[in-house]
Structure 1
C-alpha cells in the first residue's frame, strides 16, 4: 500500500488523527499552513480538504482570497497525487488552470479527484479540484496538470 495512504488510514482512525496528518503535511510543505487545512477524506484518486474562512485569508471584499483557494486546490491535488502513486513513481505539478465562480465564504471544502496511475506511465495527468461552500455551491474549480514519471534509479 502507498505509504501516504497507509499513514492516513492509521492516523485518521484516532480522534485527532486527521488534524495530526494535516499538520504533518504542513510541516513538509510549510506554505500550506497559511490556510489551516484539515483533511477529511483520502483514498486512491480522491481527497477532501476543509478550510474555514477567516480574516487572515480574506481579500479586499471580505471573502477568501483567490490565492488561498489556489493553495487549497494545490494541497488537495498534491496529496491525492502522492497517495495515488504506485511504487516507483513520482509526480510534480506542471500547471494549473483555475476559475473563480463566486464568493468563497464560510467553511469551504476542496474535492480532488484523479484517475488511476499506471506503473511506468510518463506524462501529464489531470487532477480536478472543486471547492464548495457549506450549501454545496461550487465557488472555485481547478485543473492541475501533474507530471508523473518513474523515479530515477539511485545508480543513474
Structure 2
C-alpha cells in the first residue's frame, strides 16, 4: 500500500463512512487476487484481523456452498494483513506454507479471524511466524481452519 504503513491507512479510514470498504479496495489494488472474494475488513490491529466474505455466486462451488479455495484466499488475506500490521516496520513477510482443515460446509456468509499462534517472537532474527485463521459461518460455527507459516525477516538494509 505504498510508503504509508498499512496500520496507519487502516486507522485513518476505519472510522470514516465507507472507510473499511475503501481500505479493502486499496489492499486489493496492491494484491489484486484478493479481490476475487470481495473482502470486507471488519477489524484490524496488531495480533488480530477480521475479514468477512458474503455468500454470493462468485465464491460458490458446484453444490452452492462457499468454495474451499475462496476460504483459503480469505485466510491468506486475513493472516497476511494481520502479520503486516504486527511485525516491526523494519521487517517483511511472505507466506511459506499453509495447512488447512475443512470442518463443515460453509452454507452462509463467512468471517475469518487471524491471530498469531503464540506470543511475540524474537524479531532480531529471521524465522517462522505461525498464524491461525479460523473461518466461521453466520451461526458462529467453525467451517474452516488454517495455520499459515509466515517467513519474517529484516528488510534489506534494515539489519
Query: Shared topology, TM-score over 0.5?
Result: yes
Selected match of 1:137 from 129, 136, 141: 141
After superposition, what is the alpha-carbon deviation per residue over 1:37-84, rounded to whole angstroms, capped at 9, x for unaligned? 010000101000000111111111110111001001000001001111
Matched, 1:149 2:153: yes
> Whole-Å Cα distance in 2 between the matches of residues 116 and 5 of structure 1?
18
CA–CA separation in structure 1 for the residues paired with 2:155 and 2:121: 14
**Aligned residues between the structures:** 154
For structure 1, the 5+ residue unaligned runs are: none
Partner of 2:110: 108
Q: What secondary structure sits across from 1:153 in the alignment?
A: coil
CA contact (8 A) 1:84 1:117 kept: no
1:11-36 Cα distance to aligned partner (Å, 9 max, x none):
00101000000011100011100100
Stretches of structure 2 lacking an aligned partner (at least 5 in a row): none
In the alignment, the residues of structure 2 paired with residue 57 and residue 11 of structure 1 have an alpha-carbon distance, to the nearest angstrom, of 27
Report what 2:69 is aligned to. Answer: 67
SS in 1 for 2:144: strand
What is the CA–CA distance in structure 1 between the aligned matches of 2:86 and 2:68, rounded to whole Å?
Answer: 27
Give SS of 1:131's match: strand
Correspondence for 1:127: 131
Instruction: Provide the C-alpha distance between the structure 2 equivalents of 1:136 and 1:25, rounded to a whole number of angstroms.
Output: 26
Q: How does 1:76-115 map to 2 (within 5 A)?
A: 76-114=78-116, 115=119
Question: TM-score, normalising length from structure 2?
Answer: 0.92
Secondary structure (helix, strand or coil) at the match of 1:141 reads strand
Secondary structure of 2:16 counterpart: coil
Give the superposed CA RMSD.
1.6
